[in-house]
């Protein structure tokens, strides 16, 4: 269960505006990555995002580069989940692998605005916004297991017994 | 019911007779690629607690994104990568200057028909031009591939894109792929495997097919396949590192959609700021001033691209106030271009020659843009801030459009020069 305040963005939010290329090859800890989150899309985001906030966006969120920092920086900024009608496939994987839930919500994202509150029930696969409740498909078990372990690296350590 | 190319490769790698769309399989890729991000991947690998890279012979590392290092942090990363590949026995290591990874892998004979190739770079789709199943993954996934050689993949549905007719010079594969992406959108093939087919694709050089496969990701596709043919086999004859078995889709494969395009009717196309699907015919933006023109990248830095640009630049000068940056995609191409006199043509026209690599493409390194500047580029992305300032504008076009625009100082229809 996750309840949070919404940051709303449009279609095709790409990885360059989430995490600019000029930082991509500079070694950085996640906390520093968070300072650059959405820098070229919404310069006010990084300074005022609160832990538990939720990003709601249009289709094809995270298109572009394979840079994992695009997911890591949002996770480190405290974002609890990203909700969109569709995600680019590499971003989708990177988010799950960073332990950041991504929710493919076919309907309803256009009704949600910045500052609204939404409540997500991951087990039930429902998102509540004002008086409406929307359903989203459950993740396949292979993918859910990664998310539940907090991301790919902790998951693999568990599987390999190296943790 | 027959299987698509993607189904056949994934079934083969998973050791199954058949896989269906949506089915998740665990596979071991034949080749895994990483580049300057290997420094970060190596650090993540260390956290897993596995000491040795499993199957180091399956990994290829190419330094290309920030070469030669322009700041100390890059130099340090490169140094760590050199130490990592030496320690882990990754012999397929190509140091700064050899070329852009997506050019180097084909040149060295690693991108082979029927192979499954994953890279921690979104344009890994390029190898689809050689009949490989090739897709991008993230850094953590590459670290896990170092540790286990294994990854899960979901079997995608397939779009068949059939291109009839013939492209007429100076219209190129770049104009065609921009047209396709403009028509179907940045998410038009999201999560799909794309199979390119038709007379226009059959008639194309491998370099042109690489443009189609390279930019498959810009419409969201997981891979972009061209059926290997005599041209593919002859390119690979002296290069392929091993024998290979080409994989073709079954004639009765089940396609989610078949899309048709006509190459004969096509004119030069340009993607306008700030999305790759914001495409229109070059005439509609003709006259827009540019301060920089970029010829190169993994999309259009090959010999046919340089030759086409040289046809326009031969005996001419670039406009005052324009910087023309030329980056051959690899050392091999640089040498060929030198031998053919193309570099001579470019430099005499007033161009700056940069070393093979990604250069200005990703804004991390050389040739960045100031606020208010505009660039016409042969690269594959024009996202806001991609080449430096978020207040700069990037237009994407073919090598001919870039050369013509460099000569006039404004975006120009290259047909004026033919
Ligand atoms: S040339 Fe550009 S698109 Fe190609 S690999 Fe390099 S940075 Fe990526």
Report how far residue B150's alpha carbon sits from residue B30's, in angstroms, rounded to the nearest whole number. 10
User: Does residue B410 belong to any structural domain of this protein?
Assistant: yes
Q: What is the pLDDT along chain B (418 residues), one digit of tens a residue?
A: 899 999 999 999 999 999 999 999 999 999 999 999 999 999 999 999 999 999 999 999 999 999 999 999 999 999 999 999 999 999 999 999 999 999 999 999 999 999 999 999 999 999 999 999 999 999 999 999 999 999 999 999 999 999 999 999 999 999 999 999 999 999 999 999 999 999 999 999 999 999 999 999 999 999 999 999 999 999 999 999 999 999 999 999 999 999 999 999 999 999 999 999 999 999 999 999 999 999 999 999 999 999 999 999 999 999 999 999 999 999 999 999 999 999 999 999 999 999 999 999 998 889 999 999 999 999 999 999 999 999 999 999 999 999 999 999 999 999 999 9
Q: Are residues B413 and B291 in the same domain?
A: yes
Three-class SS of chain B: CECCHHHHHHHHHHCCCCCCCCCEEEECCCEEEECCCHHHHHHHHHHHCCCCCCCHHHEEEECCCCCCCCCHHHHHHHHHHHHHHHHHCCCCEECCCCECHHHHHHHCCCCCCCCEEEECCHHHHHHHHHCCEEEECCHHHHHHHHHHCCEEEECCCEEEEEEECCCCCCCCHHHHHHHHHHHHCCCCCCCCEEEEECHHHHHCCHHHHHHHHHHHHHHCCCEEEECCCHHHHHHHHCCCCCCCCCCCCCCCECCCEEEEEECCCCCCEEECCCCCCCEEEHHHHCCCECCEEEEEHHHHCCHHHHHHHHHHHCCCCCCCCCEEEEECCEHHHHHHHHHCCHHHHHHHHCCEECCCCCHHHHCCCCCCECCCCEEEECCCCCCCCCCECCCCEEEECCHHHHHHHHHHCECCCHHHHC
Cα nearest neighbour of B64 on chain A? A25
Tell me how far the alpha carbon of residue B188 lies from the centroid of ligand 1, in angstroms.
22
* Number of separate domains in chain B: 3
Contact A16 B136 (CB under 8 A): no
In A56-115, the residues whose Cβ lies within 8 Å of chain B are: 59-60, 63-68, 71, 86, 88-90, 93-94, 97-98
pLDDT at residue B1 in the model: 87
* Length of chain B measured in residues: 418
3-state percent helix, strand, coil for chain A, nearest multiple of 5: 35, 20, 45
- Collapse the DSSP code of A101 into the 3-class scheme (helix H, G, I; strand E, B; otherwise coil) and give the result: coil
Which among B187, B271, B366, B393 is the top mutation candidate for probing chain A, defined by the most A β-carbons within 10 Å of its own β-carbon? B187
Contact B363 A90 (CB under 8 A): no
Q: Are residues B96 and B215 in the same domain?
A: no
User: Does residue B13 belong to any structural domain of this protein?
Assistant: no
CATH number at residue B379: 3.30.499.10
pLDDT at residue B364 in the model: 87
Ranges of each domain in chain A: 2-138
Those residues with Cβ within 8 angstroms of residue B48's Cβ, 6 or more apart along the chain or in another chain: A153, A156, A157, A160, A162, B143, B144, B147
User: Does residue B4 belong to any structural domain of this protein?
Assistant: no
The listed CATH number (1.10.579.10, 3.20.19.10, 3.10.450.50, 3.40.50.11540) that belongs to domain A2-138: 3.20.19.10
User: Is the distance from CB of B379 to CB of B256 less than 8 angstroms?
Assistant: no
Arithmetic mean of pLDDT, A54-75: 97
- For A103-118, b/e burial (b = at least 16 CB within 10 A) is bebeebbeebeeebeb
> What is the DSSP-derived secondary structure letter of residue A55?
E
Tell me how far the alpha carbon of residue B272 lies from the centroid of ligand 1, in angstroms.
19
CA distance B368 to chain A (A): 10
Is the minimum CB–CB distance between B383 and chain A shorter than 8 Å?
yes
pLDDT at residue A163 in the model: 75
Those residues with Cβ within 8 angstroms of residue B3's Cβ, 6 or more apart along the chain or in another chain: B11, B18, B19, B249, B250, B253
- Tokens 């031969």 sit on residue: B314
Report how far residue A4's alpha carbon sits from residue A17's, in angstroms, rounded to the nearest whole number. 23
User: Is the distance from CB of B238 to CB of B400 less than 8 angstroms?
Assistant: no
Preceding omega of B215 cis (within 30 degrees of 0): no
Q: Is A159 left (phi over 0), alpha (psi -120 to 50) or beta?
A: alpha
Q: What is the CA radius of gyration of chain A?
A: 15
Give the model's confidence band at A59: pLDDT under 50 very low, under 70 low, under 90 confident, else very high.
very high
Tell me how far the alpha carbon of residue B362 lies from the centroid of ligand 1, in angstroms.
7
Tell me how far the alpha carbon of residue A130 lies from the centroid of ligand 1, in angstroms.
44
Q: Are residues B367 and B403 in the same domain?
A: yes
Q: Are residues B70 and B166 in the same domain?
A: no
Q: Are residues B317 and B351 in the same domain?
A: yes
> Does the model's pTM come out above 0.95?
yes
Q: Are residues B215 and B333 in the same domain?
A: no
Q: How many CA atoms lie within 13 A of B7 on its CB side?
A: 21
Give the position, in ligand 1's atom list, of the atom nearest the Cα of B35: 5
User: Does residue B47 belong to any structural domain of this protein?
Assistant: yes
Those residues with Cβ within 8 angstroms of residue B79's Cβ, 6 or more apart along the chain or in another chain: none
User: Does residue B24 belong to any structural domain of this protein?
Assistant: no
Q: Are residues B207 and B325 in the same domain?
A: no
A60 chain-B contacts, CB cut-off 8 A: 186-187, 190, 220
Q: Are residues B257 and B285 in the same domain?
A: no
For all residues of chain A together, what is the average pLDDT?
95
Q: Which helix (H) or strand (E) holds A81?
A: strand A81-84
Report how far residue B29's alpha carbon sits from residue A9's, in angstroms, rounded to the nearest whole number. 36
B117: containing domain: 29-149
User: Does residue B205 belong to any structural domain of this protein?
Assistant: yes
Q: Are residues B123 and B209 in the same domain?
A: no
Write down which residue in B95, B118, B149 finishes a domain: B149
Binding pocket residue ranges, ligand 1, CB within 6 Å: B 65, 100, 102, 121, 123, 297-298, 358, 361-362, 379-380
Contact B152 A142 (CB under 8 A): yes
Contact A14 B73 (CB under 8 A): no
Write down which residue in B149, B183, B201 finishes a domain: B149
Q: Are residues B145 and B204 in the same domain?
A: no
Token reading at B290: 């540019």
Residue to mutate, B120, B121, B301, B378, ligand 1, most ligand atoms under 8 Å from C-beta = B121
Report how far residue A51's alpha carbon sits from residue B156's, in angstroms, rounded to the nearest whole number. 35
In B327-346, the residues whose Cβ lies within 8 Å of chain A are: none
The rounded percent of chain A whose pLDDT value lies above 70 is 100
Write out pLDDT tens, residues A8-57. 999 999 999 999 989 999 989 999 999 999 999 999 999 999 999 999 99
User: Does residue B237 belong to any structural domain of this protein?
Assistant: no
User: Does residue B345 belong to any structural domain of this protein?
Assistant: yes
Q: Are residues B263 and B305 in the same domain?
A: no
């Amino acid at each position: 269960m996750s309840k949070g305040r919404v940051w709303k963005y449009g279609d095709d939010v790409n990885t360059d505006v989430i995490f600019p290329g000029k930082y991509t090859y500079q070694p950085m800890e996640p906390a520093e990555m968070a300072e650059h989150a959405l820098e070229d899309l919404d310069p006010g985001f990084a300074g005022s995002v609160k832990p538990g906030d939720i990003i709601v966006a249009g289709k094809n969120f995270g298109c572009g580069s394979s840079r994992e920092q695009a997911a890591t920086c949002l996770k480190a900024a405290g974002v609890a989940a990203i909700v969109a009608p569709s995600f680019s496939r590499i971003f989708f994987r990177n988010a799950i692998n960073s332990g950041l839930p991504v929710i493919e919500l076919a309907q309803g994202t256009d009704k949600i605005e910045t500052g609204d509150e939404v409540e997500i029930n991951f087990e039930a696969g429902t998102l509540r916004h004002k008086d409406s409740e929307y359903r989203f498909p459950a993740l396949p078990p292979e993918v859910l297991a990664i998310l539940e372990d907090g991301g790919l690296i902790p998951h693999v350590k568990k599987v390999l017994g190296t943790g | 019911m027959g299987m698509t190319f993607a189904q056949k490769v994934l079934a083969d790698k998973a050791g199954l007779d058949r896989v269906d769309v949506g089915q998740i399989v665990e596979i071991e890729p034949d080749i895994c690629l990483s580049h300057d991000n290997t420094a970060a991947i190596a650090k993540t690998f260390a956290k897993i607690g596995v000491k040795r890279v499993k199957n180091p012979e399956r990994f290829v590392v190419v330094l290309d994104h920030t070469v030669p290092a322009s700041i100390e942090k890059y130099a340090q990363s490169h140094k760590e990568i050199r130490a990592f590949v030496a320690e882990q026995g990754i012999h397929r290591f190509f140091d700064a200057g050899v070329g852009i990874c997506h050019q180097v892998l084909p040149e060295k004979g690693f991108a082979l028909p029927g192979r499954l190739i994953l890279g921690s770079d979104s344009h890994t789709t390029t190898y689809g031009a050689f009949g490989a199943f090739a897709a991008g993954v993230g850094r953590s996934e590459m670290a896990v591939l170092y540790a286990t050689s294994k990854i899960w993949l979901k079997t995608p549905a397939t779009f068949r894109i059939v291109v009839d007719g013939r492209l007429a010079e100076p219209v190129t594969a770049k104009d065609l792929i921009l047209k396709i992406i403009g028509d179907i959108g940045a998410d038009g093939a999201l999560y799909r495997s794309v199979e390119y087919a038709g007379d226009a694709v059959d008639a194309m050089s491998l370099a042109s097919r690489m443009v189609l496969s390279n930019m498959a990701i810009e419409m969201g596709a997981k891979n972009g396949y061209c059926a290997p043919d005599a041209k593919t086999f002859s390119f690979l004859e002296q290069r392929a590192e091993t024998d290979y078995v080409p994989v073709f889709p079954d004639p009765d494969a089940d396609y989610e959609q078949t899309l048709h395009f006509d190459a004969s009717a096509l004119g030069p196309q340009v993607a306008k700021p700030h999305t790759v699907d914001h495409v229109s015919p070059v005439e509609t933006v003709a006259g827009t001033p540019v301060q920089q023109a970029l010829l190169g990248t993994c999309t259009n830095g090959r010999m046919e691209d340089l030759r086409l640009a040289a046809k326009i630049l031969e005996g001419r000068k670039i406009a005052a106030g324009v910087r023309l940056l030329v980056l051959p995609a690899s050392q091999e191409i640089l040498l060929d271009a030198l031998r053919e006199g193309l570099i001579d043509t470019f430099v005499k026209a007033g161009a700056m020659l940069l070393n093979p690599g990604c250069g200005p493409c990703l804004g991390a390194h050389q040739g960045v843009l100031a606020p208010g500047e505009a660039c016409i580029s042969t690269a594959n992305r024009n996202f806001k801030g991609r080449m430096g300032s978020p207040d700069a504008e990037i237009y994407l076009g073919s090598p001919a459009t870039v050369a013509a625009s460099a000569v006039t100082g404004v975006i120009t229809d290259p047909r004026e020069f033919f």
